[in-house]
Structure 1
Amino acid sequence: MEYKRADRVADLLRREMADLLLRRIKDPRVSKVTITAIEVTDDLQNAKVFFCLMGAATEEEKRSAALGLNRGKGFMRLELGKRLHLRYLPQLSFHYDSSFEYGDKIERLLKELHKNE
């Protein structure tokens, strides 16, 4: 399988964004945010940033985290531009990653099914 430039940029973005969230962004709404994946288009113009929250999260916490991430988007792009030295930095869009919740739900159902046997 070919490792495209978009994949390499996505890996770099994920690493640097995780560092930014940990060290530079002080917004309490994003304190529990973990970047799970980033998908960058082949033309490197757009990036979908998938995130989840550590621990059990309510719908309000998810909305609040998304709002906090969107609010800090300009600062993140500025910092990423300084760190990555790319000619064009992709536009960031944030999306909640519900795959962990789905996996947890499946695991609970399987345990319940196994317990009932």
Structure 2
Amino acid sequence: MAKIRVGRVSEQIKKELSQIIQTELKDPRLGFITVTGVETTSDLSQAKVYLSVLGSDEQREDSLKALDSATGFLRSELGKRMKLRHTPVLVFKFDSSIEYGSRIESLIDDLNRGNESK
């Protein structure tokens, strides 16, 4: 039962944070950010928020700094919207799975082009 609740809360955090970041945050350092996933501890005290940011490494770092400085605002907005007794501490991390997938796809395309030329 607890695992189902944690999963539902994680999905709701993902949805709400995506909306807050896109509509409420006005920091110019923020790039094009997608919240790709949220992992919440079983006691709901901490939530790891996985992000995908389009742009250079510098733009990614700037976006992360902007989110870190807005953490208090994000937590308070999340608390208002979700009505949780305790809003989890947010920890932002980059999700490299999209980049990894793109790299694999590019390698496969290169291999296929090499086989076609033979």
TM-score over 0.5 (shorter chain): yes
Q: Is residue 21–residue 31 contact of structure 1 (8 Å, CA) maintained in 2?
A: no
> Does structure 1 retain, via aligned residues, the 8 Å contact 2:31–2:60?
no
Q: Given residue 10 of structure 2, which amino acid in structure 1 is its aligned partner?
A: A
Shift of 1:5: 1.1
Secondary structure of residue in 2 paired with 1:8: helix
Equivalent in the alignment of 1:79 = 77
Tell me if 1:112 matches 2:88.
Answer: no
Q: CA deviation at 1:31?
A: 3.9
| 1:41 alignment counterpart | 41
Equivalent position amino acid for 1:116 in 2:
G
Letter in structure 2 aligned against 1:41: T
Partner of 1:27, secondary structure, is coil
CA RMSD after TM alignment:
1.3
Matches within 5 A, 1:21-100: 21-54=21-54, 57-100=55-98
How far is the alpha carbon of 1:73 from its aligned partner? 0.4
SS of the equivalent of 2:29 reads helix
SS of 1:65's equivalent in the other structure is helix
Bigger CA radius of gyration: 2
Q: How does 1:1-40 map to 2 (within 5 A)?
A: 4-40=4-40
User: Is the Cα–Cα contact under 8 Å of residues 52 and 96 in structure 2 kept in the other structure?
Assistant: yes
**CA distance in 2: counterparts of 1:30 and 1:11, whole angstroms:** 22
Distance 1:64 1:93, change over 3 A: same
State the shift of 1:68 in Å.
0.7
Unaligned runs of 5+ in 1: none
Report SS of the residue matched to 1:52.
Answer: strand
State the AA in 1 paired with 2:108. Answer: L
Identity of aligned residues (%): 37
Q: Deviations over 1:8-33 (max 9, x none)?
A: 11111011111101111101222411
How many residues get paired?
A: 114
